[in-house]
């Protein structure tokens, strides 16, 4: 136990993946007796605040300091349709670089105002202690950005400069590029490979509650994620795909506002709790989802396979889909072909990857000590 310590978690808000993967580290920090302040914005903030309230309702805060939430500065990245996505992102880089400077000033103020003793930043390059006065850890699997070869050296040098402000860099991979390929090969000398992180590693294997019906575990499961307009385009394509198949299906559409609708045999859930998603994934015959790194870590943690559909124009997801196809034999297809895809039952062979559950608590305990 390390009472009296106060950890700031600064979470990138480009979708919910950064929030969900840091959740087990937040729970481990609470379990170690430290106070937690969570900082994010947008959908990531909504997801985290909901989980924090649920954890306290389950008794997670008994005898421990309460955690709190603050909104952090940042910039919203917009994505275009199809192959114009990469140029669209490039035009927004000046605003992104400016947001890093704002993060630095904001983090300095938060540390002073709240008595922060440690900082954990998930891809927020400006969220670190000024001049290394307190321990700061950066979480990133993309330490070698997926950019054209002509500028890859410059990109790696920039990441190295950003990473130099942190006392540790935590890479959620095995250290051999098993999951992230060359993306997780660091251009610096102080990485710490921590294995995959997943929200499902923090959950037990409790049986399905009696009020849950068999319809909550249909043979076809679709997971939609990412920013608009690609999120809605994938949802529409999945719906057409599942309707053509005709079997019962569920689509987790990734909309924090909640609600649901039924279209024939397809149930679309705008927002579902982690237990429901976990049961559906474990019971599915075929799963279709993005090739985002957090989704891949979740699937590996559960030992299930999926058909991967990278977000059009996102080089990281396109690379990861190819990497998992080559290394693990997973099927992938472009989003443009999804509506015509015929789902088939995937092999029930577990994915042989490092377990995510065993490292989070020990990592936090060692770091706080």
Quote the CA–CA distance of 349 and 359 in Å, as a whole number.
24
Same domain, 68 and 192: yes
Same domain, 115 and 231: no
Quote the CA–CA distance of 204 and 227 in Å, as a whole number.
30
Beta pairing, strands 118-122 & 191-193? unpaired
Same domain, 331 and 360: no
Can the peptide bond before residue 85 be classed as cis, meaning omega within 30 degrees of 0?
Answer: no
Quote the CA–CA distance of 261 and 268 in Å, as a whole number.
5
Question: What is the per-residue pLDDT for 215?
Answer: 60
Angle between helices 17-31 and 360-368 (to 10 degrees): 60
Q: Enumerate residues 6+ apart whose C-beta is below 8 A from 329.
A: none
- CA dist 310 → 234, 316, 322 (Å): 10, 9, 10
Same domain, 174 and 219: no
Question: What is the per-residue pLDDT for 132?
Answer: 77
Q: Are 312 and 334 in contact (CB under 8 A)?
A: yes
Quote the CA–CA distance of 46 and 52 in Å, as a whole number.
10
Question: What is the per-residue pLDDT for 303?
Answer: 87
Q: Are 225 and 47 in contact (CB under 8 A)?
A: no
Number of domains in the chain: 2
Question: What is the per-residue pLDDT for 51?
Answer: 87
pLDDT in tens, the chain (369 residues): 456 899 999 999 877 889 999 999 999 999 888 999 999 998 889 889 988 888 776 655 445 556 899 999 876 655 555 555 555 555 555 666 677 889 999 999 999 999 999 999 999 999 999 877 899 999 999 888 887 778 888 888 888 888 999 999 999 998 778 899 999 988 877 788 998 899 998 776 544 444 445 566 899 999 998 778 888 999 999 999 999 999 999 999 987 677 899 999 999 998 888 899 999 999 999 999 999 999 999 998 898 999 999 999 889 999 999 999 998 889 999 999 999 999 998 866 655 554 544 578 888 989 998
Please indicate, yes or no, if residue 350 is contained in any of the structural domains.
no
Same domain, 174 and 28: yes
> Whose structure tokens read 């949802």?
235
Same domain, 190 and 255: no
Question: What is the per-residue pLDDT for 208?
Answer: 47
Please indicate, yes or no, if residue 252 is contained in any of the structural domains.
yes
Same domain, 174 and 314: no
Same domain, 81 and 57: yes
Same domain, 90 and 187: yes
Please indicate, yes or no, if residue 15 is contained in any of the structural domains.
yes
**Region for 271 from its dihedrals, namely left if φ exceeds 0, alpha if ψ lies in -120 to 50, beta otherwise:** beta
Same domain, 131 and 21: yes
Taking the CB of residue 157, how many other CB atoms lie within 10 A of it? 11
Taking the CB of residue 88, how many other CB atoms lie within 10 A of it? 14
Same domain, 230 and 170: no
What six digits make up the tokens of 153?
A: 């050296």
CATH code: domain of residue 225 = 3.40.50.2000
Question: What is the per-residue pLDDT for 167?
Answer: 93
Please indicate, yes or no, if residue 174 is contained in any of the structural domains.
yes
Closest among 330, 359, 307, 297 to 17, alpha carbons compared? 297
Question: What is the per-residue pLDDT for 255?
Answer: 79
Boundaries of domain holding 250 = 214-340
Q: Give the H/E segment covering residue 249.
A: strand 249-252
181-186, Cβ contacts within 8 angstroms, sequence gap of 24 or more: 181/319, 181/320, 181/323, 181/327, 182/144, 183/141, 183/142, 183/143, 183/144, 183/145, 183/146, 183/316, 183/319, 183/320, 184/141, 184/142, 184/143, 184/144, 185/143, 185/144, 186/143, 186/144
Same domain, 93 and 238: no
Question: What is the per-residue pLDDT for 354?
Answer: 47
Quote the CA–CA distance of 172 and 154 in Å, as a whole number.
23
Please indicate, yes or no, if residue 99 is contained in any of the structural domains.
yes
Please indicate, yes or no, if residue 347 is contained in any of the structural domains.
no
Q: Are 363 and 28 in contact (CB under 8 A)?
A: yes
Question: What is the per-residue pLDDT for 233?
Answer: 94
Please indicate, yes or no, if residue 346 is contained in any of the structural domains.
no
> Whose structure tokens read 């490292």?
359
Please indicate, yes or no, if residue 203 is contained in any of the structural domains.
no
């Amino acid at each position: 136990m390390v009472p009296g310590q106060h950890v700031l978690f600064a979470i990138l808000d480009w979708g919910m993946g950064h929030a969900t993967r840091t959740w087990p580290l937040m729970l481990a920090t609470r379990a170690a007796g430290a106070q937690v302040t969570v900082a994010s914005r947008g959908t990531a903030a909504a997801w985290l605040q909901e989980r924090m309230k649920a954890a306290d309702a389950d008794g997670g805060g008994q005898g421990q300091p309460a955690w709190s939430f603050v909104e952090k500065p940042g910039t919203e990245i917009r994505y275009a349709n199809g192959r114009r996505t990469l140029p669209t992102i490039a035009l927004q880089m000046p605003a992104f670089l400016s947001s890093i400077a704002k993060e630095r000033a904001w983090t300095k103020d938060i540390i002073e105002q709240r008595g922060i003793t440690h900082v954990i930043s998930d891809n927020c390059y400006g969220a670190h202690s000024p001049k290394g006065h307190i321990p700061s850890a950066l979480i990133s699997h993309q330490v070698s950005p997926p950019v054209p070869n002509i500028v890859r050296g410059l990109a790696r040098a920039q990441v190295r400069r950003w990473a130099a402000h942190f006392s540790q860099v935590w890479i959620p991979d095995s250290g051999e590029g098993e999951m992230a390929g060359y993306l997780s090969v660091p251009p610096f000398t102080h990485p710490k490979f921590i294995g995959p992180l997943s929200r499902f590693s923090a959950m037990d294997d409790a049986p399905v509650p009696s009020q849950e019906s068999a319809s909550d575990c249909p043979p076809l499961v679709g997971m939609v994620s990412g920013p608009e307009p690609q999120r809605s385009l994938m949802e529409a394509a999945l719906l057409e795909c599942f309707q053509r198949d005709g079997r019962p299906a569920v689509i987790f559409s990734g909309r924090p506002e909640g609600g649901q609708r039924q279209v024939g045999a397809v149930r679309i859930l705008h927002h579902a709790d982690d237990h429901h998603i976990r049961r559906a994934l474990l019971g599915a015959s075929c799963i279709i989802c993005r090739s985002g790194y957090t989704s891949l870590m979740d699937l590996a943690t559960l030992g299930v396979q999926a058909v991967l559909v990278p977000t059009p124009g996102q080089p990281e997801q396109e690379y990861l889909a190819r990497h998992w196809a080559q290394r693990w034999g997973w099927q992938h297809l472009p989003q443009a072909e999804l509506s015509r895809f015929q789902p088939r039952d995937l092999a029930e062979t577990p994915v042989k990857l490092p377990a995510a559950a065993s490292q989070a608590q020990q990592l936090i305990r060692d770091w706080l000590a």
